[in-house]
Amino acid sequence: MCGIAGLVDWPTTDLAVAARAMSDRIAHRGPDGDGLYLTEEAPVRAALVHRRLAIIDLSTEANQPFVKDGIALVYNGELYNYKQLRAELESHGVRFRTASDTEVVLEAWRFGGEAWLRRFRGMFALALLEQATGRLVLARDHFGIKPLFVAERGKGLAFASELKALRTVLGDVEVDPTAIAASLLYYWVPESHCAIRGVEKLPAGCWAEKRPGQPLRVHRYFDPVEELGHRDQGIEAEELTAILEDSVSAHLIADVPVSTFLSGGLDSSLVTALARRENEAIDAYTIGFRPEDQKLEAMPDDLAHARIVARQFGVKLHEIEIAPDVVGMLPSMVDALDEPIGDPAAMNTVLICRAAREAGVKVLLSGMGADELFGGYRKHYACLLAARYRKAPRAARAVLEGAVDKLPVAVGSRGLRSVRFAKRFVSFASLAEEPAFRRSYTQYEPAELQDLLQPHLAPHVQTLVDEHARIYNSTGFDDPVNRMCMTDLQLFLVGLNLTYTDRSSMAASTEVRVPYVDIEVARAAFRATGAQKINGRSRKDILKRAAAGILPDQIVNRPKGLFSVPLRAWVRRDLAEMVDDLLPNGVLVNDGYIRRETLEQLIRSDRSGAADRSKEIWHLLTLEEWMRQINRDTPVGALSSDASVDVATRTSNP
């Protein structure tokens, strides 16, 4: 895992200075080394920079930019099948001088070009410069695990792992209005948009080429709908188990220690158990919060379940109980996330990664992706339930919805989780299938968001609604469960979860690997029928059956936990003054993005207990801070050195 950036024919007088400024802005992604490749000679002026987090082949011979026989490469990620590909290339006479996966990437491209991208098993974003022709090639992994931002100016191009690096060479920037509307609707910015106008994200499963004097041309080498759609003929649990075992084993390849996230839920527990089979020394990290915070949020006790798994498999467990100064941490968190992302779970990730890094761990395995691929979210079951609910008489539904609307979401210091779920359900249950699914995980009804936004931004909401409908209705599946899962793969997983995981883990100079977001696991997941994924009230049922002979029943069948934070407690207590100080008279209001009166009504409804708007308020705070940072000349301090967190770490030995 690393950070990459570069400039090709960019309009600047000093290419090296500009490239080093980009590199400095992403230094957190690679503290183990940095390098610069520079050419000022025809046919192209180019600079490639790399920040290294050394994980495979720790020797300096594997440092980047990696230059060999007329090709210069900067590469961020891991190629888990690089040993197999290397052996095949060697059989064709290719000679290697390192033991790195980086050199395999370079030689695979030289040997077979874009056809070999399909054969890569891993996570990657790369840039490759052919010295003789001046052609620049960019590529990104199948599912967008690793990021790559691109901007064109005149006949020049700039790229980087993070948006903040691009901003060092872009000068004055403009905010993209559709992206701001998207951020409010989803609480993240989809891959088809970028918060800065004129910047794009290279799509997942794509490669691109730029020849001197020509614009960037983007090509697709992997289309999830074409490759995975219409294949839901069923899969046996035993076969899925074997595929998962193989994926976890592949994701353990490293020349440094590897640990796991362990929440005590099905997904992370299965990864931990399978990893323990391969590596007896593996340990795990879990996170908890103060009891008073958990009470108001009505959060499940994940620590107890994590301890059960750790004892069962003899895994050393590091328990991190945090009480963060969220007011002090918010600015650096927003800076780390790059775009306005309103999921506070990013704090959990960075704090776990920081604790692991301080203990000498560079790599963590995560259970992320299982819910999207196997139908594990509450929204998936709720949308199936909604299809039955819509068959009830309209009058009966109206009575029920009216009664639910009057219920409070909290009584005193205790949150009412079931009421929050009921209110969310009735907000979408009467809608048709696609809009019901969209509403099940977005923050606002389109009309409600249009009422919050100033009139000139309101039309952008419909653009986003139409985009969601187009993706949902083109998934290549007939059953609603796989339609939801394929939509999540293309929107929710890459747009939110993989994005915040990359930024928050790399802010702590730590690599997070995701064995469920693997090409072979994805193929298996979309062979499963909808009924295998949601069987009655059992979500991820095929995954549970695959884990049944490995994990204890109380882990396999426990209700889904939440990799979240005590958000209501933070918004009502820690952040209350910040909300009052920043939001009603902040940039979002004063620069004409949102309406003050609608914002104030949203805050009042949350504080009265009539509705739970803590998530919306949190995101508005993050968006406000992001807008303020856009206008600053001086970057916010690095999150990895932030000291505004009270952390208690306990370690239990097996």
- Letter string b/e over residues 16-26, b meaning 16 or more CB atoms within 10 A of that residue's CB: eebbbbbbebb
Q: How many residues are given for the chain?
A: 654
Name the one residue in this structure whose structure tokens are 């997904």.
Answer: 267
CB atoms within 10 A of CB 467: 16
Task: Report whether 265 contacts 551 (CB < 8 A).
Answer: no
Residue in 309, 301, 304 with CA at minimum distance from that of residue 260: 309
Assign 3-class secondary structure to 290-335.
CHHHHHHHCCCCHHHHHHHHHHHHCCEEEEEEEEECHHHHHHHHHH
- Rg for the chain, CA atoms, rounded: 24
Report the SS3 class of residue 566: coil
227: exposed, middle or buried (Cβ count in 10 Å: 0-12, 13-18, 19+) = middle
Tell me whether the omega of the peptide bond preceding residue 224 falls within 30 degrees of 0, making it cis: no
Distance of CA 639 to the CA centre of its chain: 17
Strands 122-130 and 199-201: unpaired
Residue 150 near residue 202 (C-beta atoms within 8 A)? yes
DSSP E strand boundaries for 11-148: 33-39, 46-52, 66-68, 71-79, 122-130, 136-140
Burial of 195 (0-12, 13-18, 19+ CB in 10 A): buried
How many other β-carbons are positioned within 10 Å of the β-carbon of residue 59? Answer: 11
Q: Is the Cβ–Cβ distance between 201 and 149 less than 8 Å?
A: yes
Q: Can you spell out the DSSP letters for 410-460? A: EETTEE-HHHHHHHHHHHHTTS-HHHHHHHHHSSS-HHHHHHHB-TTTHHH
HSE (side-chain half, CA atoms, 13 Å) at 587:
15
What gap in Å lies between CA 409 and CA 585, rounded to an integer?
28
Q: What is the largest CA-CA distance in the chain?
A: 75
CB-count exposure of residue 84 (10 Å: 0-12, 13-18, 19+):
middle
Place of tokens 């994990």: 551
Catalytic residue among 2, 194, 383, 485: 2
CA angle 533/537/540 to nearest 5° reads 25
The reply to whether 2 belongs to the active site is: yes
CA distance 4 to 126: 8
C-alpha 228/C-alpha 103 separation (Å) is: 30
- Helices 433-441 and 458-472: angle between axes, nearest 10 degrees: 120
Angle at 245 between CA 239 and CA 250, to 5 degrees: 130
Percent helix, strand, coil in the chain, to 5, is 50, 15, 35
Give 572's DSSP letter: I
**End-to-end Cα distance, the chain:** 30
Catalytic residues: 2
